[in-house]
Amino acid sequence: MSKVTVVGAGVIGLSVAHELATAGHQVRILAAEDALSSVSAVAAAIWFPHDVNRSGPVIDSARVTYQRLEQLARDPGTGVRMRAGTVLTRKPDPDTSWTRAVPQHAPATSAPAGAAGVRCTVPLVLTDVYLDWLRASVLALGVRVRTAEVSSIPEVLAMEEPDALVVAAGLRSGALLGDDEAVYPIRGQVVRLANPGLTEWIIDNDNPEGLTYVVPRANDVVCGGTGEAGSWDLDVDPAVESAILKRVEGLVPALAGQAVISRAVGLRPARSDVRVEAVEGFSRPVYACYGHGGAGYTLSWGDAARIAALIGPA
């Protein structure tokens, strides 16, 4: 049984650890914080390749993840639900490449003035339930999790002496590897409202007033958002929240007057392209798995499978 260390305990790191442990590897996770303290907990977590270059491998990973999450949705305890909704488009030639990963989709029969839409059913992840389930699943597979601040990959290789190491540390990944300055944050602010009975989600990336989405969950509705590339600001901006509320209420009038349950800001770990590959220059095999932008949940199982294939069986 080979030993593999995974740096990072968000949805990507946990998914990678799960697939490697399933393949028979002895896996250890090192991370400065757990998933519920990471950007993974802030996400609306609707399946959709947002803030990511939709290359062929990305669409393939999205398809694999869709299928896996669809299977998990059969067990309510996983926190995965299949939900119908609409992706609005307002451009003459919209990018609908993501639909290749969705088994069934159709043009929307109604949309706001100036917009068209695609109707489909996709997985929705209840982040707190799902991350607890995923962490429990990796622990049940024998994965060990240790909280530790990782300052460099050579230090981890010397300390852990793994047969292989996977860097899945989100925004910190490029700096840890020391060879990638292409990673940058995209600031996302959300406000969570009481759910007046909504079940269908809606995504309006091309809204002329700004990125807008409404994602109903069990007891709340995640409303967003922002896409501020390069911003590291984690403070909630009241003016931004007011603008978000105005946009979502215009899109879904039933949200008007609903109580604010919570609010949050997260930094999506973006890159020009998702990086899933072997990294040269270290004393032991090192692999990268990061740069997922706003598509961490959407690509998680597919990219975890790609890493498992690169490393091979135990």
8 A C-beta contact, residue 8 and residue 167: yes
| pLDDT tens digits for range 114-148 | 899 999 999 999 999 999 999 999 999 999 999 99
DSSP 4-28: EEEE--SHHHHHHHHHHHHTT-EEE
Task: Give one DSSP letter per residue of 81-110, joined into a string.
Answer: EEEEEEEEE-SSS---GGGGG-S-EEE-S-
Query: Cβ distance 161 to 239 under 8 Å?
Result: no
What φ, ψ does residue 306 adopt, rounded to 5°?
-65, -40
- Check residue 1 and give its pLDDT: 62
Confidence band (pLDDT; 50, 70, 90) for 40? confident
Q: What is the pLDDT of residues 235-269, one digit of tens each?
A: 999 999 999 999 999 999 999 999 999 999 999 99
Identify the band that residue 36 occupies on the pLDDT scale cut at 50, 70 and 90.
confident
pLDDT category at 37 given cuts 50, 70, 90 is confident
- pLDDT, tens digit (0-9, with 9 covering 90-100), for 61-85: 999 999 999 999 999 999 999 999 9
Class of domain 3-83+123-182+272-311: alpha beta
For residue 29, count CB atoms less than 10 angstroms from its CB and return exposed for 0-12, middle for 13-18, buried for 19 or more.
buried
Angstrom distance (rounded) from CA 249 to CA 286: 47
Domain ranges of the chain: 3-83+123-182+272-311
Answer for the pair 210, 202: CB distance below 8 angstroms, yes or no. no
Dump pLDDT digits (tens) for 86-105: 999 999 899 999 999 999 99
Could you report the per-residue pLDDT of 178-227, keeping only the tens digit for each?
A: 878 899 999 999 999 999 999 999 999 999 999 999 999 988 999 999 99
Residue 234 is which amino acid?
A: L
Q: What is the mean pLDDT of the chain?
A: 95
Query: Among all chains, which residue has been given the structure tokens 């997985």?
Result: 123
Range among 29-33, 37-41, 150-154, 241-245 with highest mean pLDDT value:
241-245
As a whole number, mean pLDDT of residues 265-277 equals 96
